[in-house]
Amino acid sequence: MVKSRIYQSAFTLLELSVVLLLMTIMLGFSLPMFSNFFESALKKETQRIAQIIGDLKMQAILQNESYQLVFDLKKSEYAVYTISATDSQDKSPHQKYSAPIVLPPPIQFVAVTPDAEPEIQSKFGVEKLEFDKIFGQTYYFRIDSSGFVDLFTLKLKDNRNSIILTIKNIMGDISIGQEKPL
């Protein structure tokens, strides 16, 4: 008597479960990379600026150096300089960011607002001033060797949206606002 094997070519529930588990793991790793395709260039550039500020803050603490961020609204570019420990007027281009970083078109700086801590504003009557691209201003912000960051708000835009990056406190906490249609 010959027994026929009807179920020989079928998959077991265990095999299907293992395949589904592997597919889920692969999907979990690929989704964050896939979502980057849908992020706007404006948001990516704003996150890049935030990343550079975070890197500079960490370098300032670890290497006991001070840095200066220079935002040029007219040219829509920014540069990073290392400040001499002996003379605060003596500065040289940062080793890693030696050339000015130009924003890719159509992204541009719209406004820079130098901020003061709320306590300082109330005590000394410092008002928030906003200067826009019309004046073609250049703004200087410092990250000192202890990692403290000058407070400022930076507004960027492209053809359709605008976004705001804010240094919230002297510890360099960064907030990036949501993109808003123009």
DSSP 53-77: HHHHHHHHHHHT-EEEEEEETTTTE
* SS3 (DSSP) at 134: helix
More confident residue, 130 or 174: 174
- Domain 41-181: top CATH class: alpha beta
Q: Which two tokens stand for residue 124?
A: 């000394």
DSSP per-residue string spanning 109-127: EEEEEE---HHHHHHH-PP
| Vertex 120 angle, CA 117 and 125, to 5° | 120
* SS3 (DSSP) at 118: helix
Q: What is the mean pLDDT of the segment spanning 68-90?
A: 90
Q: Could you read off the pLDDT of 81-96 as tens digits, one per residue?
A: 999 888 878 899 999 9
pLDDT of residue 22: 94
Q: Could you read off the pLDDT of 138-172 as tens digits, one per residue?
A: 899 999 999 999 999 999 999 889 999 999 898 88
pLDDT of residue 114: 86
- The dihedral built from the CA positions of residue 61, 103, 154 and 42, taken in this order, carries a sign that is negative
Residue 149: DSSP 8-state: B
Res 129 pLDDT > 60: no
pLDDT of residue 3: 59
* SS3 (DSSP) at 39: coil
Q: What is the pTM of this model?
A: 0.71
Res 19 pLDDT > 60: yes
